[in-house]
Chain A
Amino acid sequence: GAVVSQHPSWVICKSGTSVKIECRSLDFQATTMFWYRQFPKQSLMLMATSNEGSKATYEQGVEKDKFLINHASLTLSTLTVTSAHPEDSSFYICSARDGGKGNQPQHFGDGTRLSIL
């Protein structure tokens, strides 16, 4: 149980393109999902907390107009990197919590490697 699917796993695109990444909880309902960014050989940096049916909460220093988050259902959150540039190249990972069972850990997707040329 507690499977989180992230798609796509790898994206290469030209500078200026917008890229959408999906995060799905397959066997549970996630009222809260989280989006992280990870640079090579570094830890995870929380970008934002995605709440179903409401606006995402962004961490300090993360541009909300650059990284658009939509959490329209209890099983799907999307992160759109708008007008991506080479400095946006990174590994993006989502996680989800089962909101219906008290204190539950975060379960992670397999990540999306984004390469902007």
Chain B
Amino acid sequence: GEDVEQSLFLSVREGDSSVINCTYTDSSSTYLYWYKQEPGAGLQLLTYIFSNMDMKQDQRLTVLLNKKDKHLSLRIADTQTGDSAIYFCAESITGGGNKLTFGTGTQLKVEL
């Protein structure tokens, strides 16, 4: 079955790097995604990675994928107060009809 886990909460100081982790169980993942949700809003797609890639970098965001350990991480460099939000990882699986399975979400709090 599909199960995607994240730590619930992360607190960092402004300017530091944030690393948000995600573990999943389904080995037939095709794509893995990171979404950001601010209070009362929908989800904003941040970045995504194909399952045969190890790393993807996009400006301040770096995604690392360890397929062997089924571990995904999102690193945010130079974290700003505007980065405070809930971050969800999600996976789509082969033959899954493009459905996404979401992680539990990580609340990132950026302190001055």
A interface residue numbers (CB < 8 A to B): 2, 4, 6, 32, 34, 42-44, 46, 49, 57, 93, 95, 97, 103, 105-111, 113
Contacts and interface: CB of A to CB of B under 8 A. Distances in A.
Interface of B: 30-31, 33, 35, 40-45, 48, 88, 97-100, 102-105
A49 B31 contact: no
A108 to B, nearest CB: 4
A44 B102 CA distance: 7
A106 B41 CA distance: 16
A57 B35 CA distance: 24
A74 to B, nearest CB: 16
The 9 A-B pairs with the shortest beta carbon distances in the complex, nearest first, are A108-B43, A108-B42, A110-B42, A111-B42, A43-B102, A44-B102, A109-B42, A93-B42, A43-B104
A113 B41 CA distance: 10
Given A108-B42, A109-B42, A103 B31 contact: yes
Contacts of B43: 44, 93, 95, 108
Nearest to B105: A43
A103 B30 contact: yes
A105 B88 CA distance: 14
A111 B48 CA distance: 22
A32 B103 CA distance: 22
Contacts of A110: 41-42
A113 B40 contact: yes
A57 B97 CA distance: 10
